Amino acid sequence: MAIWFITGCSTGFGHETALAALARGDKVIATARNPNDVNDLADKGALVIALDLSWPEEKIQSAVNVAIEPFGSVDVLFNNAGVNMVGSLEEVSSKEARAVFDVNYWGHISVTRAVLPYMRAQKSGTIGFNGSMLGWMGMGCVSTYTATKWAIAGLAHCLREEVKDWGINVTVIEPGFFRTQVFGERKNLFPEEGMEEYKVSMEPIRNLVTAVNGRQPGDPEKAARVIVEALTGKGAFEGKELPARLVLGADAVGQVEGILGLEKSSLEEWKSVSVSTDFTLAE
């Protein structure tokens, strides 16, 4: 039986992963900005707490410590909570961009810093970050959100090296398009003030959001079962090293395969120029 701490449990991957963990008999601390949004998880035995990743670090860490206290420790941290923002670099205000980073990056850091002392003390644990296939690629007019996912991927890779000697595993889970509420009606996806100059560039993105919403190929329930197996070392992951990056969804796999191929070709094309910048033996 594992003790979980999961952020962003009101919808999507957080909610489904909490359900999957509870179904296997695990203990779950489920967080949401509004605890009333996860009453069903409380009914199934989860400890529900209010947590907003835009809070100051001290408030986040205090909430985490209070929640963990009844259990004494935590085995699995799933940093799932996140917000989206669709808009060009010029359109998204600094205030809006910082708000996205506060949740998608700094909020995860605050929670992780609160949990790590427990894991180090018991010399075991697993930390998963919810990334995105956009953490491998660039997409016009999604620059702010995409930057947070690249940042999380880099953070996870470094943290993985920093804590491995305590028996702590770290991974970033990178889904493609899954049928969650990420494009739901209540989401503030677009900047408050758009720019006429980017209207043409934004149109395909707006059309994509409309076309994809509710028709995404990925099944969140299936993804949640894989996430639970990955972060507990069960099922397909039993006896194997947890990958540093776990891509979910056929669309994400296809995108990453294509990107790796293009990057390898580019590296080979410019290899002679790249290596020409080293000192020669005579120097």
Is the pLDDT at 283 greater than 70? The verdict is no
Is the pLDDT at 182 greater than 80? The verdict is no
In angstroms, the CA 208 to CA 191 distance is 17
Quote the Cα angle for 254-259-263, to 5°. Answer: 155
Position 283 in a domain? no
Is the pLDDT at 186 greater than 50? The verdict is no
Position 280 in a domain? no
* Cβ contacts of 27-34, under 8 Å, gap ≥ 24: 27/1, 27/2, 27/3, 27/71, 28/3, 28/4, 29/3, 29/4, 29/5, 29/67, 29/68, 29/71, 29/74, 30/6, 31/5, 31/6, 31/7, 31/63, 31/67, 31/81, 32/8, 34/10
CATH of residue 38: 3.40.50.720
Q: Are 117 and 65 in contact (CB under 8 A)?
A: no
**Sorting pLDDT into bands at 50, 70 and 90, what band is 162?**
very high
Position 267 in a domain? yes
Position 282 in a domain? no
Range of the domain at 244: 3-275
Position 172 in a domain? yes
The order of strands in the sheet holding 76-79 is: 47-50, 27-32, 3-6, 76-79, 125-130, 168-175, 245-248
Candidate from 47-56, 208-217, 244-253 with smallest mean pLDDT: 208-217
Find, among 1, 118, 132, the residue nearest to 79 by Cα. 132
Is the pLDDT at 185 greater than 60? The verdict is no
Burial class (CB in 10 A: 0-12, 13-18, 19+), 72: exposed
Tokens of 173: 């889970």
In angstroms, the CA 126 to CA 110 distance is 16
Is the pLDDT at 213 greater than 70? The verdict is no
What value does the mean pLDDT of the chain take?
A: 92
Amino acid, single-letter form, for residue 147: A
Is the pLDDT at 208 greater than 80? The verdict is no
* Cβ contacts of 93-98, under 8 Å, gap ≥ 24: 93/191, 93/192, 93/193, 96/144, 96/191, 96/192, 97/144
Tokens of 125: 């644990």
Is the pLDDT at 140 greater than 60? The verdict is yes
Position 113 in a domain? yes
Position 233 in a domain? yes
Position 64 in a domain? yes
Separation of CA 80 from chain center: 5
Looking at the DSSP bridge assignments, the partners of residue 32 are: 50
Count of structural domains, the chain? 1
Give the residue ranges of DSSP H helices in the chain. 12-23, 39-43, 57-68, 94-101, 108-122, 143-163, 199-212, 220-232, 250-269, 271-275
Q: Positive or negative, the Cα torsion across 28, 152, 34, 9?
A: negative
Candidate from 117-121, 137-141, 192-196 with smallest mean pLDDT: 192-196
